[in-house]
Amino acid sequence: MSEGYLPPLDDEDLNASGQPARTGLSDPAQDRDACGVGFIADMKGRKSHRIVEDALNILANLEHRGAVGADPLSGDGAGILVQIPHAFLKEECNKLGFTLPDPGRYAVGHVFMPSDDRLRTHCERVWGRCLKDEGLELIGWRSVPVDNSCLSDLVKGTEPVHRQIFVRRPVSVSNEAAFERKLFLARKVASNAIHDAYKGRDIGHYTVSLSSRTLVYKGMFLSYQVKAYYKDLSDPRFTSALALVHQRFSTNTFPSWKLAHPYRMVAHNGEINTLRGNVNWMAARQASVSSPLFGPEIQKLWPISYEGQSDTACFDNALEFLTMGGYSLAHAAMMLIPEAWAGNPSMDSNRRGFYEYHACLMEPWDGPAAMAFTDGRQIGATLDRNGLRPARYLVTKDDVVIMSSESGVLPVAEDQIIKKWRLQPGKMLLIDLEKGRIIADEELKSDIASRHPYESWVKRTQIMVSDLPLPAKRGVKKTNVSLLDLQQAF
């Protein structure tokens, strides 16, 4: 079967996500959310299966944060993000007949595929072609072993086929950051090609993650079902130095496999109230945005966000776009969720200048939000400027940091804890595994804000309407158009 052949769609293929359509006064886009989120990280970057086990225990203890359907085995979604478990994947791929390169020289992706064999084959052919077009080499595919006996029949009805894709880093790609950008391009091109081939209809294809550093396992689960479903997570060879987990209470969009958290970089407890404006502004920028890192290929990245995505998915898209465009993870997070800077007399002028400058580039993603994020090298969290979502953390004597939407998610002896605290409004917690330490909010933001003269840039370029000279009085041209019509047209 050639790639150009499109398998016909049956009626059941047209709504692979199981999401309801808009009916009467009910619009799924107007729903709201509040979830449970947490992470655990070894500050010194020591990978172990213990980190994965502890993360899954944190997730299980967040069960009360997630919604349960009328069927007690049906949840709104849960998942875990980890660093790539290289030793484990290398042995598993050897069994399949292909060899993985050294860490950093390849990427692995988790892809939700259609259950229909014809559609799945077509999607895999599109992936192969798009990777080749982007100068990347497909190493092979792996079927992710799962046990769906813990799922309800309702959830099984929308269950995708889980495939992991392995991509080799070309010799011509000099560093990991450039490789991540090429993967970003390839993923967008492949997803857009499949989306356009079926005219936007949901056939069950979705790229959960594709990176040389991180890997995501998620789905429409209750918290304890993540470990029971994905067999990989129980293997003692499966190791990581960090893990980000999430249990969803789906009140912003209808629950589905692809809208479970974590996304490719974030997991979120709360709600982005300004979502519609944020998404519209991101779309409006497509006509003018440019980047020397992408050049003319930046056109392949549109759209940044798709219709039907949740607020967190759209935030993840924006954060990923900024970091791929050259911003550091913390810098991008500060742009998207700024502190309360306007009229704040206690904030130093450099930091205020930073926020005022970036307010001209990016409107805030506002709302009650505790946002956890990672790129596989750093992991952190930030709270909205009003502090309307809880987030507490502790640091142990053996350099492990545990953060969650509440305390007590993981039993830790009191004599092993050296610090307990909470995220404060607008503040950021960042753990750098390469530097082996927590970077304090003050140090982090002072460093970023002082890298450029943002305050002088604002003063030199900002034009205040109140400072403009008043125009000379002129005769007003008479018109038969009403004032209200003119105002509405304006």
Catalytic residue IDs: 35
| Locus of tokens 């808009």 | 22
Query: Can you give the length of the chain in residues?
Result: 490
Cβ atoms 141, 163 nearer than 8 A? yes
Residue 361 is classified by DSSP as T
How would DSSP label each residue in 439-468? E-HHHHHHHHHTSS-HHHHHHHH---GGGS
Please choose, from the candidates 454, 458, 457, the residue with its C-alpha nearest in 3D space to the C-alpha of residue 445. 454
**1 in helix, strand or coil?**
coil
Q: How far lies 146's CA from each of 20, 44, 125, 143, 278, in Å?
A: 27, 32, 24, 9, 37
Phi then psi for 323, rounded to 5 degrees? -70, -40
Cβ atoms 293, 305 nearer than 8 A? no
**380 in helix, strand or coil?**
strand
Please choose, from the candidates 437, 403, 399, the residue with its C-alpha nearest in 3D space to the C-alpha of residue 423. 403
Dig out the tokens for 392 from the structure: 């507490």
- Alpha carbon distance, N-terminus to C-terminus of the chain: 55
Please choose, from the candidates 83, 77, 178, the residue with its C-alpha nearest in 3D space to the C-alpha of residue 134. 178
Q: How far lies 127's CA from each of 15, 123, 132, 192, 207, in Å?
A: 22, 6, 9, 11, 11
Please choose, from the candidates 153, 74, 139, 71, the residue with its C-alpha nearest in 3D space to the C-alpha of residue 108. 139
Rounded to the nearest 5 percent, the helix, strand and coil shares of the chain are 35, 20, 45
CA distance 335 to 296: 25
CA distance 433 to 404: 19
